[in-house]
């Protein structure tokens, strides 16, 4: 804020403005971190799906892989991600 802008506000109002600016910064950083975590989470899910398909096609016991529930793969990715 410029000197002229600082003269328009009282010291308590300036403290409130600076606090709001710092909270906006923290919110922005947190949302950026959450976006990165979500990207990593979906990468894990996609890799698990690819591995599941690869193992299914390479295996002689395809019924075993047919019996696996994709939600279990997602759950394992979530557990891995949340540690």
Number of domains in the chain: 1
Predicted pLDDT of residue 2? 59
Tens of pLDDT along 11-39? 888 888 888 888 888 888 889 989 998 88
pTM (2 d.p.):
0.44
68: containing domain: 3-82
SS (H, E, C) 10-40: CHHHHHHHHHHHHHHHHHHHHHHHHHHHHHH
Asked if residues 40 and 46 have their Cβ atoms less than 8 Å apart, the reply is no
Q: Is the dihedral of CA 17, 18, 22, 28 positive or negative?
A: positive
């Amino acid at each position: 804020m410029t000197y002229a802008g600082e003269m328009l506000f009282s010291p308590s109002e300036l403290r409130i403005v600076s606090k709001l600016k710092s909270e906006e910064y923290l919110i922005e950083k947190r949302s950026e971190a959450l976006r990165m975590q979500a990207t990593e989470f979906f990468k894990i899910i996609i890799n698990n799906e690819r591995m599941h398909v690869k193992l299914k096609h390479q295996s002689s016991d395809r019924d075993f892989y047919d019996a696996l529930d994709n939600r279990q793969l997602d759950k394992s990715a979530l557990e891995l991600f949340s540690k």
